[in-house]
Amino acid sequence: MVAAVTTIGTHEAVARLMARTRDELRRAVEAGEWLRTGDVAILLGLSRATAIRRIDSGQIRWRLQPGGKQRFCDPADLLRLVEEAEKPQRGPMTPPGE
């Protein structure tokens, strides 16, 4: 049995290597694309080190491509974190009687 090989064109390969904007990454996640750690950092507005810490802590599920070393992060978790960050924050609570 021969395994199928998927090839991509040069332009598509270059586009995958170029940094994408936060809006492009948001659309990719909404479409179900699993993102690499560097893209996660851009999407969430974090440093790459902080994004990796959040991944390592279990806040973001991930998987490896077969035979690969790069982690790809679950789009459902990323959407949840983006939506949480977009929620309006409540002001500080005032103690009763003040």
On whether residue 72 sits in a domain, the answer given is yes
pLDDT score recorded for residue 89? 74
On whether residue 98 sits in a domain, the answer given is no
Reduced to 3 states (helix: H, G, I; strand: E, B; else coil), residue 95 is: coil
Model-wide pTM > 0.85? no
Per the structure, the count of domains in the chain is 1
| H or E segment to which residue 87 belongs | none
Higher pLDDT pick, 32 / 3: 32
On whether residue 95 sits in a domain, the answer given is no
The answer to whether 42 touches 22, Cβ cutoff 8 Å, is: yes
On whether residue 5 sits in a domain, the answer given is no
On whether residue 90 sits in a domain, the answer given is no
Q: What is the CATH number of the domain that holds 62?
A: 1.10.10
Cβ neighbours of residue 54 under 8 Å, at least 6 residues apart?
44, 46, 60
pLDDT over 60 (residue 82):
yes
| H or E segment to which residue 73 belongs | strand 71-73
Residues belonging to the chain: 98
Closest-CA residue to 37 (of 91, 46, 26): 46
Provide the residue range defining the domain that includes 73: 19-85
Taking all residues of the chain, what is their mean pLDDT, rounded to a whole number?
Answer: 84
